[in-house]
Amino acid sequence: MSIKLWIVIRREYLQRVRSKGFLVFTLLFPLLVAGYIAFVIGLSHSGSRQQYRLAVLDESGHIFAPLAARLGKIQFHQQAQFLLTSIPAAAGNHAALARMKAGVLHKHFDGALVLSPGLHQVRYYARDVTNFYVLGKLQTAVRAAIQRQRLLAAGLPANKLARLLQPVSLKQYKVTRSGAKADQGQTFALAYVLSVLLYVAIIMYGVSVMRGVAEEKTGRIAEVVLAAVDPFTLMLGKIIGLGGAGLTQFAIWLGCVGLVIGYGMISSNAALQHLPHLSPAVFLLLIVYFILGFLLYATLYAAAGAIISNEQDMQQTQMPITLIQVLSIILIPAVLTSPASLKAVLLSEIPFFSPVLMVTRLTAGHPPFWQIGLSLAIMLASIVVIIRLAAKIYRIGILMTGKRPTLPELMRWLKAA
């Protein structure tokens, strides 16, 4: 490694790490993520923060009492969360329904439930029908009450019903080498968080590389630097220097995740003990995927920076690269639902998707070693090829002035020696 490469790397690294933005973002990002998660959790629970007044028109005459009993058990600030009002069925049902709807509209009620005489149909009227919390509770309670009523009508003795209708729930366990552990979606969340973290880190530093190259080009600094180093050294130095800064930041973020998980493992706090385990090997692989993913994308971004001639070009030029990255984020759920399926394996072996999707698979399951090894090998090979191609574009683009080159022009640059 030449000494000049080292000098370029050091400048890029120090300039970045010493900037105020670096410090702020290093600290702010974990806070933002934590805040975001809290916000999402808070949002999904916000439905439970009020009392619901429901009008019930029970045309069968059998359901209101058991329904009220069931819903009445749901407590909220030491009082019943659901207040049910029975609307007499005899008073002319059309008129009653109209009154109920008006009541909902004028906020005397939050919702109106109408049960048909034969219990074949249950209708729910509300101003807000997307509150999944309320809908879920209602659905469960109504279903249970009606089923009970049907069983009674079929002649089953009431004293046996409680046992027959006992609810069944699935409890989830994640099986790992260190044993099975109850899991209520933490793995899902962690896989998502880590994949997104990797995505953010790669895109952020990739774009920094592009901006850095564009700064040198449009600020005509390139010519001064190229009077002392060759273009390849300059490009590589920038990628490695900024990549090092990115790695520093990513490692700090990972350290935060690791601290929280580690704290969860030794803590007596029940909620924290539910945090998923993450082995040191997975941490190591996360870093490896960050490095390779960064090298792959940063090289593309460096070439993009070299063909930009002004600030306006930047958005447009980086778009294709960013799109590929966004695509890998969009594919996370598909991989997460079945991390070992052929589809997931194939997608995660595509070098442009590997950094994000392999991390998803690593946290969600246990991909075989050969698949991990293969994806690393494919990425390495792609990096070698892409660096060569990018260097050709960079070499010519960095000194070009005037219009951004067209695609055919770029192809010609790639073909030139």
Report the interface residues with another protein, using CB under 8 A.
4, 7-8, 11, 15, 215-216, 219-230, 399
Closest separation in Å from C-beta 398 to another protein: 10
d(CA 66, CA 54): 15
* Residue with Cβ nearer another protein (127 or 220): 220
Closest separation in Å from C-beta 17 to another protein: 14
* Residue with Cβ nearer another protein (19 or 44): 19
* Residue with Cβ nearer another protein (223 or 311): 223
- Pairing of the two strands 52-58 and 179-182: unpaired
Closest separation in Å from C-beta 1 to another protein: 15
Phi-psi region of 220 (alpha: psi -120 to 50; beta: other; left: phi over 0): left
* Residue with Cβ nearer another protein (128 or 215): 215
Closest separation in Å from C-beta 7 to another protein: 5
d(CA 303, CA 392): 8
Closest separation in Å from C-beta 3 to another protein: 8
* Residue with Cβ nearer another protein (15 or 85): 15
Among 162, 241, 233, CA closest to 208: 241
d(CA 393, CA 339): 37
Among 307, 330, 331, 327, CA closest to 318: 307
d(CA 182, CA 186): 10
* Residue with Cβ nearer another protein (224 or 377): 224
d(CA 347, CA 343): 6
For 229-300, where are the E strands, in sequence order?
none
Closest separation in Å from C-beta 40 to another protein: 37
* Residue with Cβ nearer another protein (215 or 311): 215
Which residues share a beta bridge with 122? Answer: 115
Encode 308-336: b = buried (16+ Cβ within 10 Å), e = exposed. Answer: bbeeebbeebbeebbeebeebbebbeebb
Query: Other C-beta atoms within 10 Å of 106: how many?
Result: 8
Q: Which two tokens mark 158?
A: 């009431």
Closest separation in Å from C-beta 10 to another protein: 9
